[in-house]
Amino acid sequence: MFHTISTVVVILLVIGLAVRKNKKVHVPLMISAFSVDLVSVVAIEISRGAIQKAVTAPPPLLIFHVLVSVAALAFYRVMFFLGERVRSGATHLRPWHRRTAWVFGACRAANYVTSWMI
């Protein structure tokens, strides 16, 4: 079930990226992706005790997965902050929003791939 949810999040992110010039569609899609992803993380913790597993002698792949997952969640926050500033008229931040999106995308892609491996 969590893999399906993660796949939906990735699809939302890809569609959001594809329509990035249409702010009326881009912004709600990205906020939806973040919201679903955050709820999924909470659900994984509740149902699997993910934090406890990650703390007690985790294998290297799990450590990597946790690191890129936390980074992706942190970058969601940065992306939202920068996106809101750009939307409010701070167009000089658009290049930073775009650069951060690349790093976020790499973290989220690594999260998605490693979630299937652990």
Mean pLDDT (whole number) for 74-91: 95
* DSSP state letter for 58: -
pLDDT value at residue 50: 66
Q: Rounded CA gap, 108 and 91, in Å?
A: 25
Which is more confidently placed, 49 or 106? 106
| Rg of the chain, C-alpha, whole Å | 15
How many alpha carbons fall within 13 Å on the CB side of residue 96? 14
- Which position has the higher pLDDT, 55 or 29? 29
Q: What is the pLDDT of residue 54?
A: 67
pTM attached to this predicted model = 0.84
> What is the residue-averaged pLDDT of the chain?
91
